Amino acid sequence: MTEIFDAIKHAAIGISRAIVNADTGATSHTNATGDTQLKLDVLSDHIIEEAFASVTSVQAIISEEKEVQTPLHVKGRYIVGYDPLDGSSLVDVNLSVGSIFGIYEGGISGANLKAAVYVVYGPRVELVIAHEDVRLYRLTPEGAFAFVRTLTLNPKGKLNAPGGTQQHWPAHHKAMIGGLFAQGYRLRYSGGMVPDLHQILLKGGGLFSYPATSDVPKGKLRMVFEVFPFAFVYTLAGGEAIDGNVPLLSLTPSHAHDTTPCFFGSREEIATVRATYANH
């Protein structure tokens, strides 16, 4: 596993440089989910592919930017599913973006996730590794990731990050989100799931939600590349991650690009979600 984490660290440094220096214009290609690929998405994908090419424990990689798996080493134990540059449209407005990695053993399902890593490219470059516990690292001027601290979620937080277009939220979801604000929760939503979930995790807790809506009935966020890795991080940090009813890590996609409604948070906020969604 260490060599996988090292490859991710290496790729993260390359991507952080690309964000600062590379062309951010759009390509004419669309990815498997139909989004227009930015040059930076493609570049980040190449950087990650190159970083994993020599890692013999990796059997295959699968990117949010590609339709199918890329086989690497037949005797490798792990499949790495990743989103090379999540929230990439935010680069042009100079907000934080991120890379997300799930390390699977024996097929891509929530239960087969063995570790998760994400990188936040913001004013600082930070990397979080969830494997046995959840650890925060920060990129130093010397180009190394220095350990900062172990991350845990409080049983209850103060932040609320509600995703999706409100016009399309179901009534029970709207009432739940309104109820949290009525209790004093503060809105924190940038539109990038990596920095939004990172903020909640570092500030001790709260709720990030991306529900089923009338325009995206199965949610927007992808299980393999986005949802499972963060479900692993939040669960290991002492929080919970559910689809409204069941733990996200109990789900198995029928296609690598499947999406799901998702809720990540501290235990109290997730109890509120469970109570709200019990009859829906």
Smallest gap from Cβ 143 to ligand FBP, in A, equals 27
Contact 115, 131 (CB under 8 A): yes
Shorter beta-carbon distance to ligand FBP: residue 16 or 88: 88
Between CA 75 and CA 80 the distance in angstroms is: 14
Residue nearest ligand FBP by beta-carbon distance: 193
Alpha-carbon torsion (225, 230, 231, 236), positive or negative:
positive
Shorter beta-carbon distance to ligand FBP: residue 192 or 239: 192
Contact 172, 280 (CB under 8 A): yes
Q: Is 218 annotated as a binding residue?
A: no
Contact 157, 184 (CB under 8 A): no
Euclidean distance between the first and final Cα of the chain, in Å?
A: 40
Between CA 30 and CA 80 the distance in angstroms is: 22
Report the candidate in 211, 226, 214 with the shortest Cα–Cα distance to residue 262: 211
Q: Is 38 annotated as a binding residue?
A: no
Shorter beta-carbon distance to ligand FBP: residue 5 or 208: 208
Task: Collect all residues with Cβ–Cβ distance below 8 Å to 132 and sequence separation of at least 6.
Answer: 236
Q: Which residues are near ligand FBP by CB under 6 A?
A: 35, 86-88, 163-164, 191-193, 220
Q: Is 251 annotated as a binding residue?
A: no
Q: Is 220 annotated as a binding residue?
A: yes
Shorter beta-carbon distance to ligand FBP: residue 165 or 250: 165
Smallest gap from Cβ 87 to ligand FBP, in A, equals 4
Q: Is 248 annotated as a binding residue?
A: no
Between CA 165 and CA 254 the distance in angstroms is: 26
Smallest gap from Cβ 9 to ligand FBP, in A, equals 22
Note the Cα 190 to chain centre separation in Å: 14
Q: Is 39 annotated as a binding residue?
A: no
Q: Is 16 annotated as a binding residue?
A: no
Residue 36: count other Cβ atoms within 10 Å of its Cβ. Answer: 13
Shorter beta-carbon distance to ligand FBP: residue 61 or 120: 120
Shorter beta-carbon distance to ligand FBP: residue 27 or 54: 27
Between CA 171 and CA 226 the distance in angstroms is: 26
Smallest gap from Cβ 112 to ligand FBP, in A, equals 22
Smallest gap from Cβ 162 to ligand FBP, in A, equals 8
Smallest gap from Cβ 80 to ligand FBP, in A, equals 18
Q: Which residues make up each annotated binding site for Mg(2+)?
A: 64, 83, 85-86, 226
Q: Which residues make up each annotated binding site for substrate?
A: 86-89, 189, 220
